[in-house]
A and B are shown apart, each in its own frame.
Chain A
Amino acid sequence: MISTKANRAMQKIRNFFEKELMPLAETLKESGISFLALGPDHDADTYYIDRHKATISRGDFEIEGGNCADDLERALVDLWTSQGYPQLTTLAPALCELAKICHSVEIEQEQKGDVSPAMYVLF
């Protein structure tokens, strides 16, 4: 049975998706920004891409936001700014909020002793 809390969380996710994520996606598409190559390019010689950073150094192990969901907002803002997508940074506060809501649902699920189906998805 799905709890009230889970229902509320799902509603928040849908609201975010419909009212923030999709409108921004449309705007970016219209301005010619695309994130994924969706099919072959027969003119290309190779599909390998050069990695941003070929080697790893000591500082790379210390990821901002990885240690605490409270740092998530700053980590996302930094990431998208560094990638050249400042438009995405407007999503960061709502994502932090969603993280807290989704986690509280997850805790409830764990207390029931179930394995959350959310753990075993493609992502």
Chain B
Amino acid sequence: MSLLQIFEELAEDCFDTCEANIDCVIETFSSSDDSLKIRSNISNNNIFGDMVLVNSFADTVKSPVFS
């Protein structure tokens, strides 16, 4: 399951229902270093283990500010 697929599932967020469907949940988001911690219970998953740190927009897309 790719990160995008996980987010597409999570996008239908409604309390805890998505957790059961994809067995994965975003645990923390740190605005200080723009990182996400995602906890996955998916066994034999090559992408995510427990508490994987995913660099968010810090190293790829900086968040633009307007006005």
A and B bound?
no
Residues of B within 8 A of A (CB): none
